[in-house]
Chains A and B, each alone.
Chain A
Amino acid sequence: MKIQFILNGEEIHLDVAADRRVVDLLREDLGFTGTKEGCGAGECGACSILVNGEHRLSCLMVAAQLAGAEIVTIEGLSGEKGFHPLQEAFIREGAVQCGFCTPGMIIAAEALLKSNPNPTREEIRSGLSGNLCRCTGYQKIVDAVSEASRIGKKTT
């Protein structure tokens, strides 16, 4: 089917099977490999993307659901050279180890901070509970999201 949607600010027109998984469409057809796949069953959160500003799992979505939507992947969160405050905080606070969960985690954190700009550490933990990380033990991720929310408050 022919679909049209906005991906990271750019209009995309595609002719694609309606049931193609969005994670495959993004990674294979469009080359946006920043979105990872860790389980293919909606259990790990590595494939998190923003759909109309909301946190969604691209391994559970099919192409037809993208029609007319506004999609943001990790690549679209900042410019090519720059860093989103969350990315900066993840780097600085040491929230990145193997990094395979990182794009999904940052996307989930972005959605969390949009709905709750001033979360407690417990709220961050529960807000990110759908995103698995096997390396960090989460503490530095929580530090990073806290830090990003603090910086966000300063700048707004």
Chain B
Amino acid sequence: MFNHIPEIGKTFVRPDAAGKSKGTEKYAADYYGDQLVWAGVRRAGIACGRIRNVDTSAAQSLPGVVAVLTAKDVPGTNRQGIVHKDQPVLAEDKVRYSGDAVALVLADDRATLDKALALLKVDIEPLPAVFTHEEALKPGAPVIHESHPGGNILLQAQIRQGNAVQALADCDVLIEESFDVPMQAHAFLETENGLAWQEPDGRIVLICSTQAPFRDRWEIGHALGIPMDKLRVSSPYLGGAFGGKDGATVQCFLALAAMHAQGRPVKMTWSREENFAAGYKRHAAHMEYRLGAKADGTLQALHCKLFYNTGAYAHLGGEVMALGMEHAGGPYRILHTLVEGWCVYTNQPIAGAMRGFGVAQVSFAAERMMDLLAAKLNMDPLDLRQKNALRRGDQNTSGVTMTQSTGIDACLAELQASPLWQNRSQWKEQASLFKRRGVGVSAVFNAIGYGRGLPDSAIAKIELTQEGNIRVYNGVTDMGQGNATAFVQIAGQILCQENNRFELIQPDTDRTLPSGSSSASRTTYTYGNALIKAAEDLRRKIIGRASLILLADTLDGLELLPGRVRDMQSGREIPLEMIASIMPPEDRICTSQFLMPVVRDKMNTGKEFVIGFPHLLFSYAAHLAAIEVDELTGAIEVKEYDAKTEAGHVLNPHTFTQQVHGAIAQGIGYALFEEIVTKDGRLMTPDFTTYHIPCAPDVPEMRSQIIETWEPSGPYGMKGVGEVGSNGPLPAIANALADACGVQMTCSPLSPERVLLALAQMKKQENPRQ
């Protein structure tokens, strides 16, 4: 319906939107199969305990049950984990959180599966558990992983430059405050799921809702003792993920189940309750900040202690904390910094990657500190930010030289000029009875790519098909962010073909090439760079082969046009189909690898980080929230929202704005009501009734403005924009709340109860006799 040549920089309608809107696009959840077997697991239901016995006899003898498997049936190491292999597929002798799986059941239908799971007799002796970082760090606290040398500390690390402690003592003003944020759930609509089967030759095939099919193969292989070439993993379009499908969810269960299903396809779909209980979470964090400045507002020194509660298993906990630490000082110049971090095991659900990977937490603390400092200095909060904003050539708070595009000052300048900011006093005065209005800002950034120590690589593959179409083999999952769209644009730009000539292959370890995970705002940046090279190679190849048919002496006079190559001199044209027909299959394919550049500074800090520190590239944003607080209920309504975002040159304004909008909405949920609550390690918020994510009336009309820069290392000057927007809303809204009624919140979410309580306490302090 929209035939045209995709071009860079112009709005290009997503090629996946048609099938998705008609219901014909198949997600992993939409695959079934003949003779289907349903798989499910029995979870511990208790935060910590020793497994005395798992009696499977009753379940096993239930008609319709195909197999009941426990840890002794796991053939390999029975260990999963991206960085640390500490998570069993099926728990052996100990359970460490309520979502630990103790048995895997295969059955002919779902009703039998549920019955069999209930028939399992699981005998677990409760052990003392720890739920907060304080409990876990207490001397003599129960140890969660006996074999971990650091006790309950998964990772302790420091980023240091200058002498923060000394410099803080010399500052004209000092602000000290502590902040707490809870766990957040990704709440993607398609829960963790997949389909798997074993081929007659023994190979196991998975169709899975996953952000990292290539890494999955390695994870499954390690845990189950299967050679990687005996595994095939594909990931169709995902029904959302936001970090929550980066790592093992259903993969090992499915592969193990397939080994016991006699070639029948096995389907595993986590229920929503299971998703809440056993899915990954954004880390809860406790953050202690001390920030010092000169009387003129120049930031001088920062000391912070960050505690990330990583739950029962390592997953990406250390790396999440590392990124949080790297962003702890905000997008500012601070000469003296000491950022200390403790990533702590507890018996809570596993925390891991979530959009804004560790950064959403510190953004709250850092940007609240900036407002507290501005108030103390009696300075305009935007002026204070602009005065200290990082510029190209500066060193950031980790000591990395900003050699690349650095657009936070431009974002702040645009925000300063916005009508909402300029007219805020007037807007606030229009609040009606029992309502208070406030306007708050935040300046945020988010790193792009894996960082040093873990090569951020993608390998693009593109083919001229026999039919004369262009097939792009996308190697990085499209979980909804639209990277596949960008790949069609890039190929369209270089190959000058109309969109109906493009075919997209989604990640499949048999067909596409390893390109890393769909994460870290890296997908379009890394794969896109690889694709530019591959598409240019293909272009040269098509023209080169066309010259043989056109009897052209040089290639200079040949032009690749939609569906054909034209000899500009003679006007003769040959269709792509004909060119393809003279090319053998291997000649019609071009591949190219791209490796993301890394920081060149010699780093004398952050030595504890094995991978993922530091980062070279960042995207930036300045956010403004205008809110109305109901004095009677404590409820906050976000009335207006303004985002200025810098992520290099924008390839597609359409998808760029989609990312900004979605990130803001998730951030508003994080700010106002999203909070995973557990009691004794069990979920008290296991569904959308108790865990409220924003619905349409909760989100205001948002204004998203692109602040263009050019990132020389990016494909067509772009940087990733997927994450940066999720870091802004919580601090902007909390700052707006302070502006509205003087309540200085240090805990999130800013729920009506918390706001009411804070208002009452403030009144009490103002009039102690009342």
Report yes or no: B696 in contact with A141, Cβ–Cβ below 8 A: yes
Other-chain residue from A32, A91, A103, A134 in contact with B187 (beta carbon distance below 8 A): A134
Contacts of A102 on B, CB cut-off 8 Å?
20-21
CB neighbours of B695 from chain A (8 A): 128-132, 138
Contact A36 B701 (CB under 8 A): no
Compute how far the CA of A32 lies from the CA of B696 in the bound complex, rounded to whole angstroms: 27
Residues of A within 8 A of B237 (CB): 98-99
Q: Which residues of B contact A142 (CB under 8 A)?
A: 696
Do A99 and B29 have beta carbons less than 8 Å apart? no
Contacts of A132 in B (CB 8 A): 187, 189, 688, 693, 695
Q: Is A57 an interface residue (CB 8 A)?
A: no
The 3 closest A-B pairs by CB, nearest first: A34-B23, A98-B480, A99-B20
Residues of chain B with a CB closer than 8 A to A138's CB? 665, 694-696, 699
Are A94's CB and B654's CB within 8 A? yes
Establish whether residues A96 and B16, one from each chain, have CB atoms under 8 Å apart when the complex forms. Answer: yes
* Measured CA separation A106–B655 after assembly (Å): 20
Residue of B nearest to A41 (CB): B687
| C-alpha spacing A138/B657, complex, angstroms | 12
CB <8 Å contact, A135 and B658: yes
B17 pairs with A90, CB closer than 8 A:
yes
Q: In the complex the two chains form, is B189's CB within 8 Å of A134's CB? A: yes
CB-nearest residue of chain A to B661: A137
Q: Is the CB of A124 within 8 A of B187?
A: no
The answer to whether A40 and B22 have CB atoms under 8 Å apart is no
The distance from the CB of A127 to the nearest CB of chain B, in whole angstroms, is 8
Within 8 A of A (CB), among B516-563: none
**One of B238-246, B296-304, B582-590, B752-760 at the interface:** B238-246
Partner of B13, one of A43, A75, A92, A136: A92
Within 8 A of A (CB), among B356-385: none
| Contact assessment for A137 and B21 in the assembled complex, using a CB-CB cutoff below 8 Å | no
From residue B236, how far is it (CB to closest CB) to chain A in Å? 11
Question: With an 8 A cutoff between CB atoms, is A97 at the interface?
Answer: yes
Complex interface bits, B20-49 against A, C-beta within 8 A gives 1, otherwise 0: 111111110110100000000000000000
B3 CB within 8 Å of chain A: no
Question: Does B661 contact A139, Cβ atoms closer than 8 Å?
Answer: yes
A113: min CB distance to chain B, Å? 15
Q: Known contacts A75-B24, A129-B695; is A40 also within 8 Å of B661 by CB? A: no
CB distance B662 to A91 under 8 Å? no
Q: Which residues of B contact A101 (CB under 8 A)?
A: 189
Q: Is the CB of A98 within 8 A of B190?
A: yes
A36 touches B239 (CB 8 A): yes
A140 near B26: Cβ-Cβ < 8 Å? no
Give chain A interface residues in 110-156, CB to chain B under 8 Å. Answer: 121-122, 124-126, 128-142
B interface, size bucket: 35 or more
- The one of B14, B23, B187, B697 in contact with A129, judged by C-beta atoms closer than 8 angstroms, is B697
Instruction: Identify the A interface with B (CB < 8 A).
Output: 27-28, 32-41, 43-44, 46, 73-75, 77-78, 83, 87-88, 90-92, 94, 96-103, 106, 121-122, 124-126, 128-142
The CA of A29 and the CA of B245, in the complex, are separated in Å by 28
Say if the beta carbon of B479 comes within 8 Å of chain A.
yes
Q: Which A residues are CB-close (under 8 A) to B664?
A: 137
CA distance A82 to B200 in the complex (A): 41
Apart from A36-B27, A87-B22, A129-B696, what 9 extra A-B contacts exist at CB < 8 Å? A35-B23, A44-B272, A91-B17, A102-B20, A132-B695, A134-B240, A134-B666, A140-B658, A142-B696
Pick the contact of A39 from B14, B30, B272 — CB < 8 Å? B272
Q: Which residues of B contact A87 (CB under 8 A)?
A: 18, 21-22
Contact of B688 among A43, A78, A122 (CB under 8 A): A43
How far is A78 from B271 in the complex, measured between Cα atoms in Å? 31
Query: Chain B: which residue is nearest A75 at the CB level?
Result: B23
Interface residues of B (CB under 8 A from A): 1-2, 13-14, 16-18, 20-27, 29-30, 32, 186-191, 237-242, 271-272, 479-482, 654-655, 657-658, 661-666, 687-689, 693-697, 699, 701-702
Q: Are B665 and A136 in contact (CB under 8 A)?
A: yes
Classify the interface of chain A: helix, strand, loop or mixed. loop
User: In the complex, what distance in Å separates the CA atom of A88 from the CA atom of B13?
Assistant: 11
Please report the C-alpha to C-alpha distance between residue A78 and residue B21 in the assembled complex, in whole angstroms: 11
In the complex, how many angstroms separate the beta carbon of A59 from the nearest chain B beta carbon? 10
- List the B side residues contacting A100 at CB < 8 Å: 27, 188-190, 239-240, 480
Q: Are B696 and A46 in contact (CB under 8 A)?
A: no
CA distance A140 to B189 in the complex (A): 18
Whether B657 lies near A97 (C-beta < 8 A) is no
Chain A, residue nearest B663 (CB): A137
- A117 to B30: give the CA distance in the assembly, Å: 33
- Name the contact of A33 in the complex, choosing from B16, B26, B187, B688 (C-beta under 8 A): B26
| Residue contacts A-B, CB under 8 angstroms, 30 given | A33-B23, A36-B29, A39-B687, A43-B272, A44-B189, A83-B18, A87-B18, A90-B21, A91-B17, A92-B2, A94-B655, A98-B188, A98-B189, A98-B190, A98-B237, A98-B241, A98-B480, A99-B17, A99-B25, A102-B21, A103-B21, A106-B21, A132-B688, A132-B693, A133-B189, A134-B187, A134-B666, A136-B658, A136-B665, A139-B702
How far apart are the CA atoms of A156 and B261 in the complex, in Å?
Answer: 56
In the bound complex, CA of A43 to CA of B275 (Å): 15
Q: With A98-B479, A140-B658, A140-B661 as known contacts, state yes or no: A91 contacts B699, CB within 8 Å.
A: no
Bound-state CA distance A143–B622 (Å) is: 24
Q: Are A137 and B662 in contact (CB-based, < 8 A)?
A: yes
- In the complex, the chain A residue whose C-beta lies closest to that of B1 is A83
Chain B positions within 8 Å of A137 at CB level:
661-666, 694, 699, 702
Quick one: given A99-B237, A102-B20, are A125 and B697 in contact (CB under 8 Å)? yes
Instruction: Decide if A38 touches B191 in the complex (CB within 8 Å).
Output: yes
| A77-B23 Cα distance, complex, nearest whole Å | 10
Q: How far is the CB of B485 from chain A (nearest CB, A)?
A: 10
Q: How far, in angstroms, from A99 to B242 measured CA to CA in the complex?
A: 14
Pair A134/B23 contact, Cβ less than 8 Å: no
Q: Which B residues lie within 8 Å of A99 (CB)?
A: 16-17, 20-21, 25, 237, 239, 480
Q: Assess whether A38 is in contact with B272, with CB atoms less than 8 Å apart.
A: yes
In the complex the two chains form, what is the Cα distance from A28 to B109 in whole Å? 12
B566 → chain A, closest Cβ, in Å?
Answer: 32
Q: Which residues of B contact A135 (CB under 8 A)?
A: 240, 480, 658, 662
CA distance A96 to B694 in the complex (A): 17
Pick the contact of A128: B27, B29, B191, B696 (CB < 8 A): B696
Distance to closest chain B CB from A78 (angstroms): 7
Distance of A9 Cα from B237 Cα, bound (Å):
29
Contacts of A94 in B (CB 8 A): 13-14, 17, 654-655, 657-658
Q: Which of A38, A41, A73, A129 contacts B189 (CB 8 A)?
A: A38
Residues in chain A near residue B239, CB distance under 8 A: 36, 38, 98-100
Contacts of B696 in A (CB 8 A): 124-126, 128-129, 131, 133, 138, 141-142
Q: Out of B13, B16, B189, B241, which one reaches A36, CB within 8 Å?
A: B189
CB distance from B153 to the nearest CB of A (A): 33
Measured between beta carbons, the chain A residues less than 8 angstroms from B2 are: 91-92
The answer to whether B1 and A73 touch across the interface, beta carbons within 8 angstroms, is: no
* Closest chain A residue to B702, Cβ basis: A139
Residues of B within 8 A of A139 (CB): 661, 699, 701-702
